Amino acid sequence: MESKRISIGTARIEGLTYEPHYDEAQHHFYWKFSFHDSSMLFYQDISFICIGDDRDAAKGHFAIVCELFRTANIYEGDKVAVISDDNGKVLAIAGIGEEKWIDVRDYRLKLFKNLDIQYDSLRVF
pLDDT at 41: 64
Count the residues in the chain: 125
Interval 71-116: pLDDT, tens? 999 999 999 999 988 887 888 999 999 999 999 888 899 999 999 9
Residue 73's alpha-carbon distances to 98, 115, 124, in angstroms, are 8, 18, 22
Rounded distance between C-alpha atoms, residue 97 and residue 99, angstroms? 7
Q: Using DSSP, state whether 62 is helix, strand or coil.
A: helix
Rounded distance between C-alpha atoms, residue 118 and residue 3, angstroms? 5
123 pLDDT band, cuts 50/70/90, is confident
Interval 8-54: pLDDT, tens? 999 999 888 888 888 888 788 888 888 888 787 666 555 666 677 78
